[in-house]
């Protein structure tokens, strides 16, 4: 079994830099992290300087994700030895217990951290994750709401809560969470687009019009967001087809839908160029656009 450095012809510095990039951009490509990180740790630990500790942490978490308890355990031992009283390392020990489904033991560990330091957000979030893993969504939602009352600026928590509400089909509350996120991140096209999807799902003319507006906003922020483009097309088409709208509203929405159609066709034509393999999906889109035109008029 050849090493990563042989397979990809990279030196240890490049491997270290790759790990840093993945760390900074919060990628969850755990198999890759384990492959690269394990080799880096085994062969080049002495060259890494102080970076080695954060790499142990990163590799440990990735190892848990890949059920590599052997690797996770050895990383944890190194960290425990170096930082014997650290809450951060204790949290990692808790995560390992979670991976082994020893939730009670993990909770005890997190509770001991919180006794020492009630403001430790990492431990609180792990406790909520345990509730999610156990399928206790209503409790997770309740705990997360309580958490957000104290830590109202935590974007990750707001997004997690919106996801929980979406899974529970509580679209009104999911929309509220996404509104918070859009307020603090006005340039994030993904939040606009998710908000629009929630509104569309809630249904009714008013929500469809809101959905259309936010799909359009998402496109303004990122004109390559295909979900937003399709969303704009579908919401405008549905509004235009509704018997409750005035002639002007109908006309406007037909225009929006037509614009969206041309953008979609163009995008697919560019995607289809030279690629034999996606001819089927291109054809399917063309047919779909045609069939929806008929229902609209």
Q: Quick check: 83 and 114 in contact, CB under 8 A? A: no
Kindly identify the residues of this chain, within the stretch 232-251, that bind other proteins according to CB under 8 A: 234-235
> What's the rounded Cα separation, in Å, for the pair 96 and 101?
9
Residue 231 found at the interface with other proteins (CB under 8 A): yes
Residue 77 neighbours by CB under 8 Å, 6+ apart: none
- Interface residue with other proteins among 169, 187, 244, 248 (CB under 8 A) is 169
285 binds other proteins (CB under 8 A): yes
Contact pattern from residue 261 through residue 280 relative to other proteins, giving x for each residue in contact according to CB under 8 A and a dash for the rest: ------xx--x---x-xx-x
Task: Confirm or reject binding of residue 26 to other proteins (CB under 8 A).
Answer: no
Q: What is the DSSP letter of 29?
A: -
User: Quick check: 197 binds other proteins (CB under 8 A)?
Assistant: yes
**Is residue 287 near other proteins by the rule CB under 8 A?**
yes
Name the strand (E) or helix (H) holding 45. Answer: none
List all residues 6 or more positions away from 297 whose beta carbon is below 8 Å from its beta carbon: none
Using CB under 8 A, pick the residue from 145, 227, 241, 259 that binds other proteins.
Answer: 227
**Which of 13, 290 has the CB closer to other proteins?**
290
Q: Which of 49, 84, 135, 204 binds other proteins (CB under 8 A)?
A: 135
Tokens found for residue 122: 């990492």
User: How many beta carbons lie within 10 A of that of residue 263, not counting itself?
Assistant: 17
Considering only 133, 182, 221, 296, the residue that binds other proteins (CB under 8 A) is 133
Closer CB to other proteins, 10 or 271, in the complex: 271
Residues 123 and 94: beta-carbon distance below 8 Å: yes
Q: Which is nearer to other proteins, 77 or 281 (CB)?
A: 281
- Among residues 194, 248, 252, which one has the least CA distance to residue 221? 194
Determine if 166 is a binding residue for other proteins (CB under 8 A): yes
Residue among 172 and 247 whose Cβ is closer to other proteins: 172
Which residues lie closer than 8 Å to 260 by C-beta, 6 or more apart? 229, 230, 232, 233, 236
Which of 16-24, 50-58, 197-205, 253-261 is the region at the interface with other proteins (rule: CB under 8 A)? 197-205
Q: Which of 184, 206, 182 is nearest to 194 (CA)?
A: 182
Using a 10 angstrom Cβ sphere, with 0-12 exposed, 13-18 middle and 19 or more buried, the burial of residue 15 is buried
| Binding site residues, other proteins, CB under 8 A | 133, 135, 166-167, 169, 194, 196-198, 200-201, 203, 211, 226-227, 230-231, 234-235, 267-268, 271, 275, 277-278, 280-281, 283-285, 287-288, 291-292
């Amino acid at each position: 079994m050849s090493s990563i450095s042989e397979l990809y012809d990279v030196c240890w510095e490049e491997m270290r830099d790759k790990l840093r990039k993945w760390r900074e951009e919060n990628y969850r490509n755990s198999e890759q992290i384990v492959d690269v990180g394990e080799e880096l740790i085994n062969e080049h630990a002495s060259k890494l300087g102080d970076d080695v500790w954060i790499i142990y942490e990163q590799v440990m978490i990735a190892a848990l994700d890949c059920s590599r308890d052997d690797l996770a355990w050895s990383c944890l031992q190194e960290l425990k030895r170096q930082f014997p009283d650290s809450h951060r390392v204790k949290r990692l020990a808790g995560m390992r217990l979670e991976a082994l489904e020893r939730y009670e033991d993990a909770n005890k560990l997190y509770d001991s951290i919180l006794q020492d330091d009630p403001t430790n957000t990492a431990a609180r979030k792990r406790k909520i994750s345990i509730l999610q893993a156990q399928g206790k969504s209503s409790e997770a939602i309740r705990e997360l709401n309580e958490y957000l009352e104290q830590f109202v600026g935590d974007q990750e928590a707001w997004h997690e809560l919106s996801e929980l509400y979406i899974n529970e089909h509580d679209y009104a509350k999911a929309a509220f969470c996404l509104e918070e996120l859009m307020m603090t991140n006005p340039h994030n096209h993904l939040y606009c687009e998710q908000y629009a999807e929630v509104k569309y799902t809630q249904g009714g003319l008013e929500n469809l019009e809101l959905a259309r507006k936010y799909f359009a906003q998402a496109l303004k922020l990122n004109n390559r967001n295909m979900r937003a483009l399709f969303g704009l097309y579908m919401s405008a088409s549905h509004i235009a087809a509704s018997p409750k709208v005035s002639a002007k509203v109908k006309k406007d929405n037909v225009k929006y839908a037509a614009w969206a159609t041309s953008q979609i066709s163009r995008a697919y034509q560019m995607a289809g160029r030279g690629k034999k393999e996606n001819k089927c999906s291109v054809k399917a889109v063309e047919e779909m656009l045609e069939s929806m035109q008929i229902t609209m008029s």
